[in-house]
Amino acid sequence: MKVITAIAEMRSLSRALRMEGKKIGFVPTMGFLHEGHLSLMRRARSENDVVVASIFVNPTQFGPHEDLDRYPRDAEGDRAKCEAVGVDLLFMPQAPDLYPEKPAVFVVVEGISEVLEGAVRPGHYKGVATIVAKLFNIVQPHKAYFGQKDFQQCAVIKRMVAGLDLDVDVVVLPTMREPDGLAMSSRNSYLDKEERRVAAAVWRALSEGERLFQTGQRDAAVIQGAVRSELLREPGILIDYVAIVDPDSFTPQAVIESRTMMLVAVRVGRTRLIDNLQFL
């Protein structure tokens, strides 16, 4: 596995690989890799000639009081994990290279970037769309792989790709979970033992919503109420939102009549957790 830090070198290698007719699969990450990330890399390995992964903790997607400085990092461990799953090129750029001056150019996906996560974290998806567009431009992948845990992020990236006519196929793979159902996330490392126990309530609550749906309940307010009640059984949880929305427009749905997403965001101590579940 080759580690690359220079943008020019990464771009040059990608151009050469494309000229050779090689298919490039790309997994962008912020590092502190877990099985969710590695599952994306394995899928990329199975579908492409060359696998590129990136590790970059992107400052423009963090708010002024968020966890940029304490976001977990493990560069050496991440390198070993990438090599073990067959990554060919690991791109690890530095912030001054990607943002050499105070950023003045951003990619904004209107509408779906402004609700739910976008409302709780203003400017977050502007930072996400901008860095992903920059990485796509540098790496020039044929396919890029993301996890469904960040469902709204995936929707924003797909909308950006379509709106800018970018030549990349966005592949979204199922959320990887711990044995108790908690969605794998680098931020899970923030949780202490008691918080980790409390966090398992997120999946229990989503599962209660799924149970109601499977028994015939279609009233979104009833399902949301049951999910909120299940979450609030744990006094250590603060709810940011429980929403049932159209998966394309992210407009709230009163009745579940077609493919619909339930999205949940909570806070456990200082840690913010998100998860989702698809109906139909």
- What per-residue confidence (pLDDT) applies to 124? 97
Q: How far apart, in Å, do the first and last CA atoms of the chain sit?
A: 41
pLDDT on residue 118: 97
Angstrom distance (rounded) from CA 253 to CA 279: 12
List 239's β-bridge partners, or say none.
266
Which of 37, 65, 124, 142 is an active site residue? 37
Quote the pLDDT of residue 65: 86
pLDDT higher than threshold 90 for residue 100: no
The verdict on whether 34 is a catalytic residue reads no
Q: Any idea which residue has 């690991």 for tokens?
A: 90
b/e per residue 226-241 (b: at least 16 CB within 10 A): bbbebbeebeebeebb
Q: What is the pLDDT of residue 71?
A: 96
The yes-or-no verdict on residue 101 having pLDDT over 90 is no
Least confident of 65-69, 116-120, 267-271: 65-69
Name, in order, each residue with C-beta under 8 angstroms of 114's C-beta and a sequence gap of 6 or more. Answer: none
Note the pLDDT tens digit of each residue in 165-220: 999 999 999 999 999 999 999 999 999 999 999 999 999 999 999 999 999 999 99
Is residue 102 scored above 90 in pLDDT?
no
How far is the C-alpha of 231 from the C-alpha of 228, rounded, in Å? 5
How high is the mean pLDDT of the chain? 97
Q: What would the pLDDT profile of 205-255 be if each residue is shown by its tens digit?
A: 999 999 999 999 999 999 999 999 999 999 999 999 999 999 999 999 999
**CB distance 93 to 134 below 8 Å:** no
Q: Which pair of structure tokens corresponds to residue 173? A: 């793979």
Domains of the chain: 2-173 (3.40.50.620), 186-279 (3.30.1300.10)
Does this model's pTM top 0.85? My answer is yes
The predicted model gives 18-36 an average pLDDT of 98
Q: Mean of the pLDDT values across residues 3-25?
A: 98
Tokens of 8: 């020019």
